[in-house]
Every structure is written in structure tokens, then in C-alpha cells.
Amino acid sequence: MTLDAGIVARLPKVDLHCHLIGTVRASTFAELARREGLTLPDSPERVYADCNSLPPDPALYRDTRIPVPQGRSADEPEVSYSLFQLSGWVTEALRDTDDLTRIVYEAFCDAHTQSATRHLEVSIDEPRGRLARLGYPTLVEAYAEGIRLAERDFGMSGRLIAAIDRSRSGEQALAWVRTVVDHPHEYLAGIGLDNLETVGPPERFADAYRLAGEAGLGRTAHSSEHVPGAANTITCLDLLGCDRIDHGYFVLQDDAVVERLRDEQTPMTVISTTSRRSWRPWRRASIAAMLDAGLNVIAASDDPGMFPTTLAAEYGILAGDLGVPYPRLRQMALAGVDACWLPASEKSELRARFERELAVLDAEVAAG
């Protein structure tokens, strides 16, 4: 039986894998880009619409268990702008703390209104350029103000994740995490590891993750997303001490790792939609296999403004395209609560809220 789309839309949700720059609305980018006089290869609206990251060398993926598409897809634009290009332009258009508070608030507003998201954790990048001149304490407070406004207006909760760019050195990453640790903030809950997995192995960042762990911060990392193997995921768990894994599709290459992840029920944030449009069918097939293997996968939005997608759309793909039944989606929603980085008392309150809202949906599903 096909699950009613309205049930999926109203299902209370937690989003644990969402990059702040990737949430920026196309309309907001267009406004800010024109304000700043950015030189772009086309209109701001056009470059946003044509976000499409081209795959790396296909030779890397010739022997994967789930075949990775080797060619282009029918929906690719004639001229593509990668996710990294687009993120760079958006960052360049940001001028001051008001801009930062605005994009955080809009991210939470969209998550609330489009997806029934009750808790959102957004990754923030190490500041560079003119934003860096404002200083980290000023920047993190600007981000936090956006969350406070969302808490007031939407009844949501939220946290920030300090993202390490894995193309940087281990020393640079350690310095960034030391800045975060030396300026603790109630809304900064953890660290993550972003950028292409192929440009920075996780062991490079062991010292940064050790410092974060000593400071009591949550730890996650993109892993087994671009490298066709499971070894990096084991490194992230055992050396970096990660509480969660972002993506993780290529763990399917190793049965022993799959068994461990299933036994330990390691939270894994997954996204069916990606800026690599040709890889979207592979992503969905991989997530279906992860579900079949009993892994603790939790849908997320990643870069919803740029793909574009929403968390509700990601749940809709699971329900509609992959046939995931309501009880499993319900379990996933609660797993998101359990894996979030709220303090214990706030997490308990959030879970109670979910159980109240889910009880209403349970009755509707049972009634048919």
C-alpha cells in the first residue's frame, strides 16, 4: 500500500546533516549577489538552477557491488556549475552578521514549513576572507541568533556543527577546532569533516578530533561517499571517535563492516538527492540496500537549497520510490531524535513531543 504523501509530510523530523551554505534560497542568493556586484558566468538564478557536480574518474567505480553510473544523465544542464563553485559564490556574497543570522533563520523557516522539521543541526564552515575578519565569537553568535529567532517563531530547536574542510592540513584543522573549543558556545554542539573524501583521509585529522572529544563535542564525518570502500568509516569510528557517519554508501563493499554497523546501530545520515545528478539512481539503490541490511539510516537534506530538495522530499523518495513502509519511517524519525546532539533533558522533551505527534499519525494510518 502506498503511504499517503500527507502523512509523510507531517511526520515530525530531525535533520542531522545539513550544510548552512547549501540551504541558502535561490532568491536570497540572487539578492545578495546583485547587492555585492558579484561577477558570475550567468544570472544568479541560472547558476543556481544549473547546479550539477560532474563525477570523478569513472575508473574508480568499475567494480562496485552496486553499479555506479558511468555516463551523464538526461537531466544534466548543458553548462554545469558544481556544488563547490556555487557554495563559493554564496559565501562571497555574505557581508556581515545580519546576513549570517538571516540565512540561518531562513534555513530553519524552510525546514519547518516544508518538512515538519522539529530539530535541525547545520554545519558552518571555517570563516575565510572578510567574514574571518569579524572573528569567530562574533560569527558564532550571529549564527546562534538565527536559531533563537527560529525557536521563538517556529518552536524548533537547533545546533551548529563546526565543519573541517578535509582539503586542509591536519595542523589547520587542529587550529580551527582549538578556536571552537577555546570559545565554547551553547549552540555549537560538535564537529564534522566535509569536502571530497578523496582529498583528505580521516586519519589526517586525528588530533583535531581528539581535542573535540576532550571538550565534549559530538563528532561526525563524511565517509564512504567518494572512496569506494569501507575502511575510512572504520577509521572515523575507531580513530576519530565519531558518534555518527554522514553518507556511508560504500560500506556495502565490506560485509564485515556492514555487520558491525548493524550490530552497533551506528547512526548514518543519508540523502537520496545529490548535486551529482547522474549518481542519484545509484544513491537510491545504495540506501535501499542499507535499509535491507538493517543499518540505522536517517534521512537528511544535505544542501537542500542547491540540489534542490527538502527533508520531506527525501522521506517521500524513501516511501514512494523505495517502498519504505510507515513503521520504518516512524522508527527513522525517532532514531534522528536519539542521534541528535541536544543535552539529555532537551532530547527527552523532543522525544516526548515526537511520540505525541506520531500517535496522531499512527491512528490515521491505522484507520486507512
Q: List the one residue out of 160, 164, 103, 88 whose CA is nearest residue 305.
A: 103
pLDDT of 1 reads 58
Distance of CA 338 to the CA centre of its chain: 17
Report how far residue 311's alpha carbon sits from residue 332's, in angstroms, rounded to the nearest whole number.
12
CB neighbour class for 115 (10 Å; exposed up to 12, middle 13-18, buried from 19): buried
Q: Which domain holds residue 118?
A: 5-367
Q: Per-block average pLDDT, block size 10, for the chain (368 residues)?
A: 88 98 98 97 97 89 93 92 97 97 98 98 95 96 98 98 98 98 98 96 98 98 97 98 98 98 98 97 98 98 98 98 97 98 98 98 94
Residue 15 phi/psi, 5° resolution?
A: -115, 115
Predicted structure pTM score? 0.97
Domain count, the chain: 1
CB 95 within 8 A of CB 127: no
Supply the CATH number for residue 149's domain: 3.20.20.140
